[in-house]
Structure formats: C-alpha cells, structure tokens
Amino acid sequence: MHRRITRRDFLIGVAITAGAAMLPSQLFAFESGLKQNSADYYPPALTGLRGSHPGSFDAAHALRDGTFWDTAGKPVETGETYDLVVVGGGISGLSAAHFYRKIAGPGARILILDNHDDFGGHAKRNEFRQGNDFRLGFGGTFSIESPAPYSAVAKSLIEELGIDVPSYSKYVAKGLYRSFGLAPKIFFDRETFSSDKLVVNPLRGGATETSDKPDGNAETWKTFKTEAPLSDQTKRDLQRLLFENKDYLPGLSSEEKKARLARMSYAKFLMEMVGVNDQVVRVFQAFPHPLFGIGIDAISAQDAWGLNLPGFAAMNLNPTPGKGMNRDAIPNEEAEKYFFHFPDGNASIARLLVRKLLPNVIPGNSASDIVMAGADYGKLDSASFPVRIRLNSTVVRVRHAGDPASAKEVEIAYANGGKVYKVKAAHCILACWHVVIPYICDELPDPQKDALASAAKVPLLYTNVAIRNWTSFQKLGVSSVYAPGSYHSNFTLDIPVSIGGYECARKPDEPIVIHMMKSPCQPGRPARDQHRIGRQELFMTQFETIELKIRDQLARTLGAGGFDPARDIAAITVNRWPHGYAYEYNSLWDKFWLEGGELPCEVARKPFGRLAIANADAGAYAYTDCAIDQAYRAVGEITKGS
C-alpha cells in the first residue's frame, strides 16, 4: 500500500505543481484584478481535494466563529453598481441571473459572486487526461433526475438550454457492462464482517447512482448464500426477510401501519418486527447513503418501503404515499423516465447557463457540443459585458443602504484574496447555502435566521478515480460495488455515455473513471447530529488519508482481479462536500413533516426588502429542478410589478 506510485504521483504532482506554479501569476493577476484571469487558470483540470477546496471556506468559517471582521479591514469601494447581485454561482444562482435577464432585458447588469474557484456550485466538472485519452467525471450534481416530475418552469429551462431529455438513450451504451458479464456486487470487509469478500448482490431496492441495478433473482440469491462471509443465522434471517411473505403488523389498516412505520427506523423494523440479527442490519446499514447521507438507523421504515427495501411485500400497504414520507421515497413513473446524464453531470447545465449569460466564455451552440467545449475563465468577469461571474469571492455582508422597507440599494461586501470589497445593487438574490445567510445578513428577523440555520446540509464525498483500465472489473465480473462497511460505501464504473464528440471507455483495456461515494455519519444519533459530525470529519480529514483509504479499498475489493493501485490509479479527485445535499425532511426527526405546520424552508425563503432567497435549500429538496424553481420564485419576488 505504501509503495511509490511514480506515474500516478507524477500526474497528481503535475496538477499540484500547476496549482503551486500558478501562485506568482495569480498574485499578479489579483493585483490587476482577479486570479481567475491568469492564463493558466482552469479549475476543472485540477485533481486532489476539490469540492469545498482549501481556501474556499476560510472567510465563511471566520464569520461563523465571529473573528472575520477583527482582521478584515474596511471594505474597499469598487464603485461598481449592478441591477442584481447574485450570491452563489450554483445552478440556482445561474438560473436566477438567466430568469432576471429575461424580464429585465439583456442589458441588465448582473454580478454573480461565488466562494469557489469554479462556477456551478455542486455541479462541478472533473477532467482527466491520460496520454491521448480524455475522461470526464462529475464532481457533484450527477444527473437530471428527480423523484417528482420537473415543474413546467424547470422543464422549459432544460429545453431552452437545448437538452433533449428523451434523447438520452441515444448517448448511453446501456448494456455495455452486462455485455462483458459484469454485474453489481457487494463487498464484505473483514473489519465489519470477519473477512474480505466480493460477492454477487441479491438485494433489490435502495439506491444506486447508475442504472446498473441488482436483478434480485433466485439464482443470484443462491450464489450469494454460498459465498457471503455471513453466519448461518444471518443467512437464514436474510432469506426470511427477502422471501418470506409475512405481515409484521397484522390487524392494522394500511394507514395505521404506515403511521407506525413512519415513526420507527428501518433498522428497528428489521430487528424488532422481522426479528433479524444485527449482522443483517449491518448489511443494509449503508443502503440509503446515496440518497440521504445516513443509514437505516435514521430513515423511517415507511421510507424504506417506498424505496422497495425488503420486508413489506405481504403487509398489504396501499400504494398511496403515507403521511411524512420523504419525497425521495415516493415512486413516480413520470419522474423516473425524466433522466439525462452528461459525462460531467449537471456541470453541463451550469456551463450551458454560463454560455447563455456570457456567450464569449464557452464556444458552441448545442447541448451536446458543451461537453467538449473549453471555457475561457478570463472572460467570466469583464467590464465589457453586462453579466460578470466573480469567483473566489465569499460574500461576507449584505445589507440595505438604509431602512430595508424603503432603501433603494443593497450593499454587498465580499472577501477575495485577503481583502474585502464592496459593490452596490438594486436587488440581491441569495442563492447560497442557507446556513451561511444569518452570518452575512444581520438585518433578517430572528425567526427567519433560525429557519435558515436549520438547513444544515448533508455531508458527502464524491470521489473520482481515473484508472488505466478496467480489466480487473472484467475478471471479477463486477460493474459496481456496494460496500456497507468500507470507507466509500459505493463505487461504480462510470456511466458509459458518449456525446458531442466525447467518447466513453468501451473496452476493458481503456482508461476509465471510477466514481466512489461516501456519506460520513454517526449511526445511532438523530439525522442532523449525524450530518454535523460527518461534516466535521470531512473538514478534518487530509487528502492523503482519503487517498490511502481509496487505495486500500480498491486493492482489497479488486486485487483478486489483478488491480494494483500503485500501477493502475492514474489520478484522484476527491470532491469534498461538507455542505452537500439540501436537508430533506424526515418523519423520524422532523415532527412538522409528519404532523403538519409551516415548514422551516417556507420561513427561510421569505423575501426581505430588496433581498430574495433561492438555492435548493429554499425547497428543502436536493435536486436541480428545485434549485431552478426556487431561482424562478426569487426572481419573481424582486421583479414583481416590473
């Protein structure tokens, strides 16, 4: 594990050195304006720790800790005045700028400020080059998909951007991995399950990030039963759970059952109703991680039923959603069909929006040519264009120039490169993470600040590992891995999509990107506590530690197929999202969600003076359609009557 990885070190080294070598020119560029203007500035190609990358959160954390203004100095007046300043350059912020221009006209002066070195928010593009091969990965927001159908507003924006969602089947090589005999598998690790073993996956339901779902047939179960390093008792319990048709709450109506299931965790349901042993619970523990960032100890049994987890087949639950069900757990056929995955995920949506706002930055004119188009970051923030996107800029204060009820302007202060600057605008849309808003916007009423603060996000790691080839996957017959006890609970070969001149890997000897995901959490505690602890863990963990975990996990899972991390890993990009998914309400932890009442997100998103509030947090729904819908609403609020 500790062997030198010369070639891989070289590749990562190049990226890091490029970053380091950027420093003098960055400084120079900063003096003459902005580091995003330096010639070698191209964040998508950086590897190592991305997402909330080093340097992106220090100002915000100093604000949180109450120390920022001790050393910040007086804001420098830029003299810039805008019609609209948008805080946050994610899909919500970019959509807000787009919707605003549609109303105010193409000459409207808009400034978008974001603390990251790249635009797109969670929708981030990761690029990898290995010799002549070019591979893309998604650093966050993965696909156009949502458990509920896209609204008319969100759909029409997608269409306006030229994305033809129903055409997706043209681009995806759907049966590619199956044609090589690959299937989803489970990896049992020795720390949790007594020995390391990769076995077929018989568990239907739950969530995977690819369309590559376990088939759950009887043959698979038979193989699993023979090979899995589980006790005989566990296998008997699992068999009962998967195949026995039993009503675990006899004598109750469907509604009464759902009400009970909404108030108990799935782990409790398994242990106390089905009567399985705790090793079975460990098998299922990480199943909901990709959706909720927590395990089965913290999601309700009712949601588990909606997600098609086992145990409910004979409970005669009528198909209508029960009270307090999470929206992710409510099946919807129309929504399921509305799916489109770009090789860089919804970063393509962010890039299409940027192209609409600033046609000079990204060349081209279609939703497919966006995939291979480069981006000229030096043109994102130019006084020659009405729309400007200023990166590496953390907004630290937003306040009205005078009484919010009558003020004609808002002043926005942001930190960039160790200094604070000030701009003015007729309106401001806060499309940033809601937890940040109380720290930057002191004027808001306290109940609104409390509601905003309650939207603490779900922490996640989205790791992309570029590998030399996937022959080890072929030898082991595996396309994706569920690893309930490992550092990353899921990993998968990239979805094979070729579009706009981008070619995915089609042969096992070609380079490919493996996508890995981790939800840091602390089972046994309330959901929000688990997220808080996980968030701290992510901020505290060094890239080197994560890298070692990746190498260890891949070596142990794929080693029997010949995988050698020292030889086969070409580059690693860890997209660290301590502030990841918008928090979605959960019947176990959010009483109002189960019993009714005003939702915190409704209180949080109320307009205030010349401010409106967007972001996916404003709908407590971790999806792109929500980010778009909330942007549309926010723009409607500030343009009402115009």
Ligand X SMILES: Cc1cc2nc3c(=O)[nH]c(=O)nc-3n(C[C@H](O)[C@H](O)[C@H](O)COP(=O)(O)OP(=O)(O)OC[C@H]3O[C@@H](n4cnc5c(N)ncnc54)[C@H](O)[C@@H]3O)c2cc1C
Residues found near ligand X in the complex (CB under 6 A):
60, 87-93, 113-116, 121-123, 140-143, 145-146, 346, 394-395, 431-433, 436, 440, 460, 462, 577, 580-581, 615-616, 622-624, 627
Closest separation between CB of residue 117 and ligand X, Å? Answer: 10
Closest separation between CB of residue 611 and ligand X, Å? Answer: 13
Residue number with CB closer to ligand X (12 or 87): 87
Closest separation between CB of residue 248 and ligand X, Å? Answer: 33
Residue number with CB closer to ligand X (281 or 614): 614
Question: Residue 272, Cβ neighbours under 10 Å: how many?
Answer: 12
Closest separation between CB of residue 114 and ligand X, Å? Answer: 4
Question: Residue 169, Cβ neighbours under 10 Å: how many?
Answer: 8
Closest separation between CB of residue 92 and ligand X, Å? Answer: 3
**Residue 350: exposure state from Cβ atoms within 10 A (0-12, 13-18, ≥19):** buried
Tokens 């995920």 belong to which residue? 345
CA separation for the pair 215, 125 (Å, rounded): 31
What the block records as the tokens of 27 is 């400084």
- Round the CA-based radius of gyration of the chain to a whole number and report it: 25
Contact 519, 289 (CB under 8 A): yes
For residue 240, what are the contacts with CB-CB under 8 A and spacing of at least 6?
Answer: 274, 276
What the block records as the tokens of 124 is 């981030």
Residue number with CB closer to ligand X (207 or 271): 207
CA separation for the pair 432, 434 (Å, rounded): 6
Closest separation between CB of residue 57 and ligand X, Å? Answer: 8
CA separation for the pair 618, 31 (Å, rounded): 37
- If DSSP codes are grouped into helix, strand and coil, which group holds residue 181? coil
Residue number with CB closer to ligand X (294 or 622): 622
For residue 153, the surrounding DSSP H or E stretch is helix 152-160
CA separation for the pair 96, 429 (Å, rounded): 8
CA separation for the pair 266, 254 (Å, rounded): 17
CA separation for the pair 201, 207 (Å, rounded): 13
Contact 482, 286 (CB under 8 A): yes
Closest separation between CB of residue 357 and ligand X, Å? Answer: 14
Residue number with CB closer to ligand X (538 or 569): 538
What the block records as the tokens of 333 is 């056929």
Closest separation between CB of residue 591 and ligand X, Å? Answer: 25
Residue number with CB closer to ligand X (88 or 496): 88
For residue 392, what are the contacts with CB-CB under 8 A and spacing of at least 6?
Answer: 34, 35, 36, 55, 56, 115, 116, 117, 416, 417
Residue number with CB closer to ligand X (462 or 583): 462
Torsion of CA 531, 536, 539, 545, to 10 degrees: -100
Residue number with CB closer to ligand X (57 or 224): 57
Contact 237, 201 (CB under 8 A): no
Closest separation between CB of residue 436 and ligand X, Å? Answer: 4
Closest separation between CB of residue 562 and ligand X, Å? Answer: 30
Closest separation between CB of residue 419 and ligand X, Å? Answer: 15
CA separation for the pair 307, 322 (Å, rounded): 13
Contact 495, 364 (CB under 8 A): no
- Among 184, 132, 219, smallest CA distance to 477 is for 184
Residue number with CB closer to ligand X (346 or 469): 346
Residue number with CB closer to ligand X (322 or 459): 459
Closest separation between CB of residue 290 and ligand X, Å? Answer: 9
CA separation for the pair 80, 525 (Å, rounded): 48
Residue 466, strand partner residues: 513, 571
